[in-house]
Structures are given as C-alpha cells and as structure tokens.
Chains A and B, each alone.
Chain A
Amino acid sequence: DIVMTQSPDSLTVSLGERATINCKSSQSVLYSSNNKNYLAWYQQKPGQPPKLLIYWASTRESGVPDRFSGSGSGTDFTLTISSLQAEDVAVYYCQQYYNFPPTFGPGTKVDIK
C-alpha cells in the first residue's frame, strides 16, 4: 500500500496570511502514460463530511475558491491557502488514487491565530 504522510500535524495562521501543508507519498503517484499525478486534497470542517478541493494535484474542484492551490509531482506535494479566511478552519487530508487501496494522509489541522 502507498503510505501518505503530512506535515505539519497542525498549523495556526493569522487571518489573511498564507498556510502551507505538505504531503509525501511512499512511492510516486505520477502515472507516466498520461503525466498526471493521482493526488487529491480534501477539506473536512468540524461535524461535516470531507469535501474534495483539488485533484490531479493542482486542479481545483468546481466552486472551490482560488485562494486554494495545489502543487508538486511524483512523491512531494503542497496545498497552499494564499490568504486564510475564518471559514477555512478545518482538517486537510491528502489522498493518493494511483492504485488500490486509495490511502489518505493523517490530516493537518488548520486554525486561526
């Protein structure tokens, strides 16, 4: 199974400041035949189900604000919130969908300073 790790475990950022979350996979999730990274990011607010934010490592899901961006390739990925808003308080998970079983990182909790 592909093991996903995230850093940091938690993050406290001032309103309007940048938040950066890192994700690493135990093996590459870049599929050579289509040059796509099979990496997604989800947001889970307290008491709610996860919400898909980004897939293919950098493609925003419809309706997701453009302050959320994803980058990286191969085994190292980053989710950036360019200007943190109060409604962004949540736990963020990365997930690989390169193969079965799809696996998630342990999550990064983002809070307001």
Chain B
Amino acid sequence: ELQLVESGGGLVQPGGSLRLSCAASGFTFSSYWMSWARQAPGKGLEWVASIKQDGSEKYYVDSVKGRFTISRDNAKSSLYLQMNSLRAEDTAVYYCARGQSSVGSRLLDYWGQGTLVTVSS
C-alpha cells in the first residue's frame, strides 16, 4: 500500500527553524519527483517545492526561496523540508506529495495526511 507519512511539525517562534520529514513506502521512491505543498488554516492549496528523482533539480515558490530547502534520501525513501526564518504566514498544514509518473514534477497524484506547522510567539 502506498504511504506518505509526514512528521516534524509543531509550534515555532517567528524567525525559528523546523525540519519536516516524509517517509515513503509502497512504491519505488527513487523513481519519482517529490514535492511539498501547504494549506493555511481554512485556506486553499499552495505548492511549495519539488525535487527531481536524483536531487539534481529543485524548484521553489517565490515566497520561500532562500528560506526553505527541499532534499531527499533515496536510500531511506525519505523527503525533507528544512524551513528557516519562519514567518507567521508560513503557518499551514504541510503535505508531502508524489509527482505523477507521466508528467513528473508538477502534477501530484498522491498526498500524505500532512503535518501542522504553527509559527507564533
């Protein structure tokens, strides 16, 4: 069974850092683009970042460039999001998502349950 399980969310002060993890199982992780997306409380969906199968290409939404870093460990079937200089507007549920095989990075065909990040003093 395909599973994406996020962890690492929590309460952090503005300016702080947090590292999210996503453990994948049930598919060949190294064969897929992977992404992070987020959803602020009561709001819509926003794509955050994507990483190619071998980590050689990474893309970010403008609002997180220079603050967030996406990475992966194919040996551990894991995806990460290092979040620095966090702001109140980064408060959201963060989802790990798989890129659809025929399209790649920008179409997300399976999403994890999400982990909540709250940035507040």
Contacts and interface: CB of A to CB of B under 8 A. Distances in A.
Q: Looking at chain B, what size class is its interface with the partner chain? A: 20 to 34
Interface string A80-103: 000000000000010101111111
A102 B107 CA distance: 8
Determine chain A's interface SS by DSSP, over half rule. Answer: loop
Interface string A35-52: 000101010100011111
Interface residues of A, number: 24
Interface in B45-64: 45-47, 50, 59, 61-62
Contact of A50 (B45, B59, B62, B106): B45
B27 interface: no
A101 B47 contact: yes
Contacts of B62: 101
Contacts of A104: 44-47
Interface of A: 38, 40, 42, 44, 48-52, 55, 61, 93, 95, 97-107
